[in-house]
C-alpha cells in the first residue's frame, strides 16, 4: 500500500507516526491493511509527517474513487437506459474538453436514433435489464446538444472498424455514415479515423472517454469504471495522444467513410 511505503521511506515506525499525529497505534495498522479508510485530514497529516506533500492530491483522489470507481451495469440500468443517458448528460454539462476513443462503434454523441436504438437493444439483451431502448436512444440524442452549446471542444478518434461494424442493418448504417460526414461541419469537433492497418503503438483497450483532466470512463461487460486519480488519467491521456497520432483527419477521414459507404452499397 502506498501509505505504508511512504511511512517506511520516511524511516518512521507505526508507533512514531501515530505518536506524531496523536493517533492510537492501531489506526496505522487498520489504514495500512485496508480495514479503515483514511479521511482527507488523515492523508494530509500522514503526508506531512512523511515529508511527502507531493503525494497528497493523488492519495485524496484515490480515496474518493474507492466508492465511485466501479459501478455495476445491472445496478445502473435496473431503472432502464433512459435514466442512464440523462445522468451522462449532467456530467457532460460540466466538461469543456472531450477526448473520445471508440474502436468499433460510433460514439454516442454522433449516433443517429436508429443506430443508438440498435446499440442499446444489444446492451439490454446482453445484460437482461428492462427494455427501454427507444426512450434511451431519445435521451442519448438529447444529450448531443453539448456539441453545439457552450465553448466545449471535442476530439474524437474512431477505429475504421466502427465504419464497418453492422449495427442495425444496411439502411441504418447508411444513414449513420451520412451523419458522420455531416459531423465534419461542426466547428469544435476534430474527428479522426484510425485505419485498420496501422502499427501497434498502444496496448489494446476498449473505448474510453476523457472529460477534461478530471475523469476517465470506460465500460467492461459487467460495469462502468470511472477513474479520477491524476496518475491514471495521465496514462489514458498518453494513450489517447498515441491513438490520435495514428488517425487520419480531414479529407483522408472522409475518404475512409466514403469507402465504407461504397462497401455497404456493394454488399
Same domain as 100, residue 52: no
Same domain as 29, residue 105: no
Same domain as 116, residue 64: no
Question: Considering the entire predicted model, what is its pTM?
Answer: 0.75
- Cell, residue 186: 461542426
Backbone angles phi, psi at 72, to 5 degrees: -70, 135
Same domain as 180, residue 48: no
Which residues, in sequence order, are CB contacts of 124 under 8 Å at separation 6+?
77, 81, 130, 131, 132, 133
Same domain as 108, residue 40: no
Same domain as 243, residue 186: yes
Q: Which residues pair with 155 in a beta bridge?
A: 99, 190
Instruction: Using DSSP, state whether 167 is helix, strand or coil.
Output: coil
Q: Look at the chain and report how many structural domains it folds into.
A: 2
Q: What percent helix, strand, coil does the chain show, rounded to 5? A: 55, 15, 30
Same domain as 241, residue 205: yes
**How many Cβ atoms from other residues are within 10 Å of residue 80's Cβ?**
18
Same domain as 29, residue 54: yes
* CA–CA distance, 88 with 104 (Å, rounded to integer): 21
Full domain range(s) for residue 147: 70-266
Residues 116-162 pLDDT 10s: 999 999 999 998 888 999 999 999 999 999 999 888 999 999 999 99
Residues 205-262 pLDDT 10s: 899 999 999 899 998 887 788 888 888 999 999 999 999 999 999 999 999 999 999 9
Instruction: Provide the 8-state DSSP code for 256.
Output: H
- State the CATH number of the domain containing residue 198: 3.30.870.10
Indicate the residue among 68, 92, 121 that finishes a domain.
68
Amino acid at each position: 500500500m502506498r501509505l505504508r511505503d511512504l511511512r517506511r521511506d520516511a524511516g518512521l515506525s507505526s508507533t512514531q507516526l501515530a505518536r506524531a499525529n496523536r493517533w492510537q497505534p492501531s489506526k496505522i495498522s487498520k489504514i495500512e491493511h485496508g480495514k479503515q479508510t483514511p479521511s482527507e485530514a488523515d492523508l494530509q497529516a500522514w503526508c506531512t509527517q512523511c515529508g511527502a506533500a507531493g503525494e497528497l492530491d493523488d492519495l485524496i483522489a484515490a480515496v474518493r474513487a474507492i466508492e465511485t470507481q466501479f459501478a455495476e451495469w445491472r445496478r445502473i440500468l435496473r431503472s432502464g437506459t433512459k435514466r442512464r443517458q440523462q445522468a451522462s448528460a449532467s456530467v457532460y454539462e460540466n466538461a469543456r474538453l472531450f477526448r473520445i476513443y471508440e474502436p468499433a462503434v460510433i460514439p454516442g454523441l454522433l449516433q443517429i436514433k436508429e443506430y443508438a436504438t440498435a446499440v442499446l437493444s444489444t446492451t439490454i439483451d446482453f445484460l437482461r435489464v428492462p427494455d427501454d431502448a427507444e426512450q434511451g436512444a431519445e435521451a442519448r440524442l438529447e444529450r448531443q446538444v453539448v456539441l453545439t452549446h457552450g465553448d466545449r471542444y471535442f476530439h474524437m478518434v474512431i477505429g475504421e472498424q466502427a465504419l464497418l461494424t453492422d449495427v442495425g442493418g444496411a439502411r441504418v448504417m447508411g444513414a449513420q455514415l451520412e451523419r458522420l460526414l455531416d459531423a465534419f461541419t461542426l466547428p469544435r469537433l476534430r474527428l479522426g479515423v484510425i485505419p485498420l492497418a496501422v502499427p501497434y503503438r498502444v496496448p489494446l483497450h476498449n473505448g474510453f472517454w476523457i472529460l477534461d483532466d478530471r475523469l476517465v470512463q470506460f465500460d467492461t461487460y459487467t460495469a462502468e469504471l470511472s477513474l479520477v486519480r491524476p496518475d491514471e488519467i495521465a496514462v489514458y491521456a498518453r494513450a489517447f495522444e498515441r491513438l490520435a497520432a495514428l488517425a487520419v483527419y480531414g479529407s483522408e477521414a472522409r475518404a475512409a467513410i466514403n469507402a465504407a459507404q461504397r462497401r455497404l452499397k456493394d454488399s
